[in-house]
A and B are shown apart, each in its own frame.
Chain A
Amino acid sequence: NAGVMQNPRHLVRRRGQEARLRCSPMKGHSHVYWYRQLPEEGLKFMVYLQKENIIDESGMPKERFSAEFPKEGPSILRIQQVVRGDSAAYFCASSPPPGHHWGYTFGSGTRLTVV
């Protein structure tokens, strides 16, 4: 049973380009969370999605960031017109329905570097 798969593992973008980060949840998991980790900091919640629905995006920057979790395929975190401050590690986690802490599993993260 494969874990949470994130790709790419490393992503380099020039300022102004778009970054697309992908997350495939564990089989049977229908809840996806995205977190951002700036250098030397803890993870910060960005967005929570269920299939085809954004439930909580209270941690998402108001501009340039968007997320989706379509009926088929992985969840996508999209960052438009990237800036140096977007350089960070972006982690995805997936879970089954609430109440099962052992199901809350993180992917290995995507390290975005903006040059």
Chain B
Amino acid sequence: AQKITQTQPGMFVQEKEAVTLDCTYDTSDQSYGLFWYKQPSSGEMIFLIYQGSYDEQNATEGRYSLNFQKARKSANLVISASQLGDSAMYFCAMREPPNFGNEKLTFGTGTRLTIIP
């Protein structure tokens, strides 16, 4: 069974600093996908970034980058130059290989990030 571990329940970071949110995963599959989502206080799930297990380069999307270390089974999210609007819950998730089209996600417990002015 797949498992996602986020060991940081909460983090406080000064505005404009970079922040790294940890995520480790456990799977016996060779093909998988890793996602990061942001959930602000309003509650919606906002897709941030995706990394495929066969992607050789780390994914980047604007201020977000994913530090993918396959041998260590880690997929940490790095946010550069943090902003007050980055304060939210952040979830790491893994997608299983499609099984009859089923691509359900397994989520970690999340990290609550608070940006301090």
- How many chain B residues touch the partner (CB < 8 A)? 26
Residues of B contacting A41 in the complex (Cβ-Cβ under 8 angstroms):
109-110
Q: Beta-carbon contacts of A89-113 to B below 8 Å, as 1s and 0s? A: 1010001011101101111110100
For window 50-69 of A, CB contacts with B under 8 Å fall at 50, 55-56, 59
Q: Chain A interface residue count: which class? A: 20 to 34
Given the interface pairs A101-B35, A101-B50, the reply to whether A43 lies near B105 with Cβ below 8 Å is: yes
For window 65-117 of B, CB contacts with A under 8 Å fall at 91, 93, 95, 98-110
Report whether B106 and A109 are in contact in the complex, using a CB–CB cutoff of 8 Å: no
Report whether A45 and B44 are in contact in the complex, using a CB–CB cutoff of 8 Å: no
For A31, give its contact among B4, B95, B101, B105 (CB under 8 Å). Answer: B101
Report whether B50 and A102 are in contact in the complex, using a CB–CB cutoff of 8 Å: yes
Q: Secondary structure at chain A's binding surface: helix, strand, loop or mixed? A: strand
Report whether A45 and B106 are in contact in the complex, using a CB–CB cutoff of 8 Å: yes
Report whether B104 and A43 are in contact in the complex, using a CB–CB cutoff of 8 Å: no
Q: How far is the CB of B14 from chain A (nearest CB, A)?
A: 25
Cα A105 to Cα B35 in complex, Å, equals 12
Report whether A111 and B43 are in contact in the complex, using a CB–CB cutoff of 8 Å: yes
Minimum CB distance partner of B50 in chain A = A101
Given the interface pairs A50-B101, A55-B100, the reply to whether A106 lies near B45 with Cβ below 8 Å is: yes
Report whether A45 and B104 are in contact in the complex, using a CB–CB cutoff of 8 Å: yes
Max chain A CB contacts within 10 Å: which of B4, B100, B102?
B102
Minimum CB distance partner of A33 in chain B = B104
Max chain A CB contacts within 10 Å: which of B37, B52, B93, B100?
B100
Q: How far is the CB of A41 from chain B (nearest CB, A)?
A: 6
Is A42 part of the binding interface, using a Cβ–Cβ cutoff of 8 Å?
yes
Cα A59 to Cα B43 in complex, Å, equals 22
Residues of B contacting A59 in the complex (Cβ-Cβ under 8 angstroms):
104
Residues of B contacting A106 in the complex (Cβ-Cβ under 8 angstroms):
37, 44-45, 47
Interface residues of A (CB under 8 A from B): 31, 33, 35, 41-45, 48, 50, 55-56, 59, 89, 91, 95, 97-99, 101-102, 104-109, 111
User: A101-B50, A108-B44 known; 10 other A-B pairs, CB under 8 Å?
Assistant: A33-B105, A41-B109, A43-B93, A44-B107, A55-B101, A55-B102, A56-B104, A101-B35, A101-B95, A109-B44
